[in-house]
Structure 1
Amino acid sequence: MLQHKAIIEFGIIGLGRFGFALAKTLADAGKEVLVIDNNESKIKQIRNITENAFVVGPLDKESLEDAGIQNCGTVIVCIGEKVDVSILTTLNVISMGVPRVIAKAFSYEQGLILEKIGAEVIYPENDMAIRLANRLISSSTVDSIELKGDINISEVKLTNKIAGQTVLEANLRQKYKLNIIAIEREGDTITEITPDYVLREDDKVVVVGKKDELKKFELFLRGLR
């Protein structure tokens, strides 16, 4: 078991489909991940991805500490189906001083309780539905994540309406109150974007801003505004 160890980036409690996919994605990205579940076969399977995987039966504070969950910078509690276990486990992790705790919820009421005790809340099915709907609604939006306060982070595919312009000339911040945070071109992702960077058709631009402003930008790209 891990104790008195330097901070681990991520801890995941619960290896359902969501938790397993999350752990694998983070590990594949080179992140250090600690995983806890009460199912020994799942833990054996995940050990092909991370060595920091432990079978923990009761998710009480002592068991979680023995597994070393307090050493994680971010912990994601992926056991939303069992509401009582989800809430108590989340509360135990928060009480251990973990800097960031994210918990999966399956209902608005469960999410409210989790928020009240200090966790960030995700609704996997709802969030995926929103992302799919955004992709179906707009041919320009490749992917989108909806945040609180009507803010979206969206990946938008550029058209010839903006091709050949520099970032300064496109002036998305002034025209649409959108900030460019990354550009993907031919498989490469650029995050250090200078004002003289020339945009091309089919570039995928990651922008952050309000949903209504994003829609205006999408209409412009499609020649409808």
Structure 2
Amino acid sequence: MARKQSEELSYGIIGLGRFGSALAYTLAEAGKEIMVLDCNEEKVRQIRGVTEHAYVVKDLQKETLRETGIQNCDIVVVCIGDKVDISILTTLNVINLGVPQVVAKANSPEQGEILEKIGAQVVYPEKDMAVRLAKRLISKRIFNLFELEQNIDISELKMTSKIAGKTVIQAQLRNLYGVNIIAISRNGWLTTDIKPEYVLNQDDTIVVIGDRDKIKRLADDL
């Protein structure tokens, strides 16, 4: 995979465990260009149904990685959490190959600290999932779809009788809460063409973007 000149990002995934496989299939379903590496031939064979850039590697040494061309990816995710030594060495090799953004999975704070020190962005899949679940359980009306940087979220909110019957402009969600509606779902029909005169329905689900605390305040008030 040669580095492309287009603005579309390409992704490399090293390791096809549950996390790596789920990540690969999700990115592929979103139409993203991905490269996948693993030492397990059967796992690589299965993933070839969604990408032609899937390779069996005998090891994860720097030269082996270079031969696959993974250094041409814009973002590489190292999904080897269980084997700490291999995780760290592989991450270091990918960084030294000049990949612009390297993300590494960690299973412990100690592993994550080392990965951060060598220059990787660290994710804790189980911890992150637990945090998301806790937030969803605490606030029954809110479901976070995406957590962006700087405490900005994209979330779904179920409407209530408090603002049902009002138009978007009458609800004043931007003025009162500092959040913006980016989509509305009604009876399985989704629209992103949000006009000021759109009348909100009690059965609607709105997708909003804004500061995390402001979205929570809106959810609490509904």
Q: TM-score, normalised by structure 1?
A: 0.84
Contact 1:135/1:144, CA 8 A, preserved across alignment? no
Identity %: 59
Helix, strand or coil at the partner of 2:110:
helix
1:82-133 per-position Cα deviation (integer Å, ceiling 9, x unaligned): 2222222222222222222221111122222222333222111011111111
Residue of structure 2 equivalent to 1:179: 180
Gap change, CA 1:211 and 1:71, over 3 Å in 2:
same
Opposite residue 66 of structure 2, the aligned amino acid is E
Opposite residue 10 of structure 1, the aligned amino acid is Y
Gap change, CA 1:177 and 1:14, over 3 Å in 2:
same
Residue of structure 1 equivalent to 2:208: 207
Gap change, CA 1:36 and 1:159, over 3 Å in 2:
same
Opposite residue 6 of structure 1, the aligned amino acid is K
Residue of structure 2 equivalent to 1:6: 4
Name the count of aligned residue pairs: 219
What is the alpha-carbon distance in structure 2 between the residues aligned to residue 192 and residue 110 of structure 1?
45
Gap change, CA 1:202 and 1:47, over 3 Å in 2:
same
Contact 1:131/1:144, CA 8 A, preserved across alignment? no
What is the alpha-carbon distance in structure 2 between the residues aligned to residue 144 and residue 30 of structure 1?
19
Residue of structure 1 equivalent to 2:35: 34
What is the alpha-carbon distance in structure 2 between the residues aligned to residue 168 and residue 117 of structure 1?
49
Contact 2:61/2:93, CA 8 A, preserved across alignment? yes
What is the alpha-carbon distance in structure 1 between the residues aligned to residue 66 and residue 35 of structure 2?
12
Residue of structure 2 equivalent to 1:58: 59
Contact 2:3/2:73, CA 8 A, preserved across alignment? no
Instruction: List aligned pairs for 1:108-119, cutoff 5 A.
Output: 108-119=109-120
Gap change, CA 1:194 and 1:11, over 3 Å in 2:
farther
Opposite residue 205 of structure 1, the aligned amino acid is I
Contact 2:144/2:153, CA 8 A, preserved across alignment? no
Residue of structure 1 equivalent to 2:73: 72
Give the deviation of 1:189 after TM superposition: 4.4
Opposite residue 22 of structure 1, the aligned amino acid is L
What is the alpha-carbon distance in structure 2 between the residues aligned to residue 6 and residue 128 of structure 1?
33
Residue of structure 2 equivalent to 1:166: 167
Give the deviation of 1:158 after TM superposition: 1.8
Instruction: List aligned pairs for 1:184-195, cutoff 5 A.
Output: 184-191=185-192, 193-195=194-196
Q: Which moved more, 1:192-201 or 1:157-166?
A: 192-201
Give yes or no for the alignment of 1:20 onto 2:27.
no
Residue of structure 2 equivalent to 1:121: 122
What is the alpha-carbon distance in structure 2 between the residues aligned to residue 194 and residue 57 of structure 1?
56
Give the deviation of 1:70 after TM superposition: 1.4
Report the aligned-residue RMSD. 2.4
Q: TM-score, normalised by structure 2?
A: 0.85
Gap change, CA 1:165 and 1:134, over 3 Å in 2:
same
Q: Which moved more, 1:196-205 or 1:154-163?
A: 196-205
What is the alpha-carbon distance in structure 1 between the residues aligned to residue 67 and residue 21 of structure 2?
21
Helix, strand or coil at the partner of 1:205:
strand
Give the deviation of 1:37 after TM superposition: 0.5
Give the deviation of 1:137 after TM superposition: 1.8
Query: Structure 1: any 5+ residue segments left out of the alignment?
Result: none
